Amino acid sequence: MTFLMMQPSRQVFIAPTGIQVNSCISIAVDTAYVAAQQGRNINAGVYMMDNMINNGSSGEGQMELHTKVPVGFTIGFNSVPINPVSNDQVIITGFNVSQGSVFGSAGYPRQQPPLGPTQPPGSWWIGQAMNSGSQTYQIQIAVTVGVIQPVTYYVNWDPFITAQ
């Protein structure tokens, strides 16, 4: 894989065809920390925040973010490594809903084109809160470290969304 040095400034540009989002969740990952855990359970190194604290979200900056949005809101999911010069990569590989049905099937998150030339495919997803209520869901990310022989670690955890 050819992967030139990622531009440290993660200024991004909206693709002309991009879907606008009503709300957004960003996931910042300490890639070296995650890699050093060698697949053990982690309770740090992954920091999740949304732009809905004024709507009642809680757990900001932690793994178990509880996002609150109005029904109908689209929700962007953005993943970035905290160290931009490491060449480490963080992408979202998928979602699962274990309890509740805020996304329903129509609002289930889908991968979108990356927001800029320095972002890898998989770093930007959009879902929509179609149904009122609460859900527990799982996000899985893939953290890839190393240049000579990249190693990928998968991490998943259980945040929450309430739509009202």
Instruction: Say how far apart CA 20 and CA 140 lie, in whole Å.
Output: 23
Size of residue set near another protein by CB under 8 A: 40
Q: Is 16 in the site for another protein (CB under 8 A)?
A: no
Q: Binder to another protein among 6, 69, 92, 115 (CB under 8 A)?
A: 115
Strands (DSSP E) found in the chain:
23-29, 46-50, 66-69, 74-81, 89-99, 110-111, 124-128, 133-145, 151-157, 160-163
71 or 100: CB nearest another protein: 71
**List of residues 6+ apart from 114 with CB closer than 8 A:** 120, 121, 122, 123, 124
Q: Is 41 in the site for another protein (CB under 8 A)?
A: no
8 or 117: CB nearest another protein: 8
Instruction: Say how far apart CA 30 and CA 36 lie, in whole Å.
Output: 10
80 or 102: CB nearest another protein: 80
Q: Is 141 in the site for another protein (CB under 8 A)?
A: no
Which of 15-23, 102-110, 135-143, 148-156 is the region at the interface with another protein (rule: CB under 8 A)? 15-23
58 or 101: CB nearest another protein: 58
